[in-house]
Amino acid sequence: MKMAPNAFLAAIRAGRPQIGLWISLSHNYAAEVVASAGYDWLLVDMEHAPSDMATVLGQLQAIAAHGSTAIVRPPWNDAVMVKRLLDMGAPGLLFPMVQSVQEAQAAVAACRYPPQGVRGVAGSIRANNFGRITDYYARAGDETAVLVQVETRAAVAQALDIGQVGGVDGVFFGPADIAADMGLLGKHMSQEVWDLILPAARKLMDAGIPVGTLVTDPAFAAKLLSDGFTFVACGTDTNLLAKGADALLAQMRAATEKENT
């Protein structure tokens, strides 16, 4: 058995826009509901969601059957956590709060076997279908998506250098944290924030480096993709559930009040 190509990685390398959704509910059943929708990629969050290794495993198993590529965000740029997530079969990782070229290099190294990196070698793991994928060790480095987040003004200033680190497959702008770093906490859609992000993103695009982000405004997400962003998440499962619950209750309250007048 040969290793299957990483569909998400092939797409962003070819410049094909990829629509994603954030997964924060930390349960395989919820992940399966979303995976059935057909998003190109799904971000399984460990940084700001109550996920652990067991819940991530269940989410990966649920997503795998439906064609979306699962990208896991570890809580930190930690080589031990990375090793375990890759052994578990994560097709790609999104590293939070990468602040320098050196931190980007460390992220890549954690995803590569020696001598290119520091990833420990295991035998029968989910990632190699328990030893059945015969070319896994030779191809894992090329088929694992390594994405890095820039989330401060200092990191945005270094975004091109970070994106040009060998083995980095894409740079993800985190507008919420960038806004907070600018003294605009909670105002991540403000013009000032995007006036900082967009020129840095353009430099990366011009250098042929895929660029991504998360915004929950579908129209703005679509505009970013049309303007050259390659991978954009347009919502979160928690937000969809909250808004759907609120809208349904509001509809019922209004209908009930109308009936009683």
Q: Which residue numbers are catalytic?
A: 48
Stretch 53-63: mean pLDDT: 98
**Beta-carbon contacts of residue 63 (< 8 Å; ≥ 6 apart):** 31, 32, 35, 42, 44, 70
Give the residue from 138, 18, 14 showing the smallest Cα distance to 71. Answer: 18
259 pLDDT band, cuts 50/70/90, is confident
Confidence tier at 257 by pLDDT (50, 70, 90): confident
Tokens 């105002």 correspond to 187
CB-CB neighbours of 152 under 10 Å: 18
Read off the pTM. 0.96
Question: Among 51, 89, 95, which residue's Cα sits nearest to residue 70?
Answer: 89
CA 208 remoteness from chain centre: 19
Confidence at 95, pLDDT banded by 50, 70, 90: very high
